[in-house]
Amino acid sequence: MKKSQRFKRTIKLKKAFSANDEEHEDENASTTSTSTSRSKKPIIVRPKVKPNPQPLLPALESSIDMEKAVILSPDFFQIEALDLATRLLGKLLRRDDVVLRITEVEAYRPNDTACHGRFGITERTAPIFGPGGHAYVYLCYGLHTMLNVVADKEGTGAAVLIRACAPVMGLETIQQRRGQNTNKPVLLAGPGKVGQALGISTEWSNHPLYTPGGLEILDGPEPEKILVGPRVGIEYASPEHVSALWRFAIADSPWISAPKSTLRPA
């Protein structure tokens, strides 16, 4: 009978035990059975602490010395669109307090069934036939402002679409213009997002990007590795142009638009 009574007391104390009460812990240790094989260590419950999110800014973007960045000359742009596309990777777009590093582009060439130049010179497409280094800005679906850099000599009809960028300066302004309080790649991963972050409209079409003030392109660090792949959303083009590897991106940057699965090392 004594053994059974002692056994009942032990069970009662276990039910009254509180993981957050040190006094119960001491009492339990003094009254439990002499058999140590059944004794349990006190349970300590610690609240989960969520880590503070760190800005998703690659070290390269945050360490660019803007005092050494110079505006590119007109000659830089007056080359074939395919060559200009790869040369634009790593360069800097600046408007007011916003500076973006170009991380992804697409080339649109003469006789390209995906290029707006295929329509000939119209009121909308006239800037793409201008001299290299000018902006060609158009609305996609009447909503998204798409920034292109005109390539080659005047009358060629070629350009490079800026598909994605990484923020260098003016993050708060970018977030306000985009309506998104985030520092993740979704902020600038897409051509319409880039146009919105820069706060530009179609009125910027034909603007010279090599002149100080307004919208400029400055020199920036060249990428070590490049990814290539087919362009996005041009299913209407001829099969040879749909499959052409005229999309380029910086290999080590998270600031790249979808789809990423079609990109591969150059």
Kindly report, residue by residue over 200-237, the tens digit of the pLDDT: 999 999 999 999 989 999 999 999 999 999 999 999 99
Identify residue 256 by its one-letter amino acid code.
I
Confirm whether 64 is domain-assigned. yes
On whether both 119 and 30 belong to a single domain, the answer is no
Answer yes or no: are the C-beta atoms of 236 and 201 closer than 8 Å. Answer: no
On whether both 257 and 202 belong to a single domain, the answer is yes
pLDDT above 60: residue 160: yes
On whether both 9 and 81 belong to a single domain, the answer is no
Question: 196 φ, ψ to 5°?
Answer: -70, -40
- Tell me the average pLDDT of the chain: 84
Tokens of residue 207, six digits: 């603007």
On whether both 110 and 79 belong to a single domain, the answer is yes
Residue carrying the six token digits 């408007």: 95
Confirm whether 51 is domain-assigned. no
On whether both 125 and 11 belong to a single domain, the answer is no
Confirm whether 45 is domain-assigned. no
Report the distance separating Cα 143 and Cα 148, nearest Å. 16
Domain that holds residue 124: 59-265
Question: 123 φ, ψ to 5°?
Answer: -60, -35
Share of the chain above pLDDT 70, in %: 76
Confirm whether 47 is domain-assigned. no
| Three-state DSSP class for residue 241 | helix
Confirm whether 249 is domain-assigned. yes
On whether both 90 and 9 belong to a single domain, the answer is no
* Beta-carbon count within 10 A of 247 CB: 22
Question: 250 φ, ψ to 5°?
Answer: -75, 125
Confidence of residue 183 (pLDDT cuts 50, 70, 90): very high
Question: 16 φ, ψ to 5°?
Answer: -85, -5
| Three-state DSSP class for residue 61 | helix
Instruction: For residue 174, give the nearest of 96, 255, 79, 58 by alpha carbon.
Output: 96
pLDDT above 70: residue 39: no
On whether both 125 and 189 belong to a single domain, the answer is yes
Answer yes or no: are the C-beta atoms of 151 and 132 closer than 8 Å. Answer: yes
- pTM attached to this predicted model: 0.77
On whether both 253 and 165 belong to a single domain, the answer is yes
On whether both 149 and 241 belong to a single domain, the answer is yes
Confirm whether 48 is domain-assigned. no
On whether both 153 and 34 belong to a single domain, the answer is no
Confirm whether 185 is domain-assigned. yes
Report the distance separating Cα 181 and Cα 55, nearest Å. 12
Question: 22 φ, ψ to 5°?
Answer: -70, -30
On whether both 34 and 141 belong to a single domain, the answer is no
Confirm whether 230 is domain-assigned. yes
Please state, in angstroms and as integers, the Cα–Cα distance from residue 182 to each residue in 39, 50, 264, following that order.
50, 17, 28
On whether both 83 and 150 belong to a single domain, the answer is yes
Into how many domains does the chain fold?
2
- Which is more confident, 137 or 37? 137
Share of the chain above pLDDT 90, in %: 71
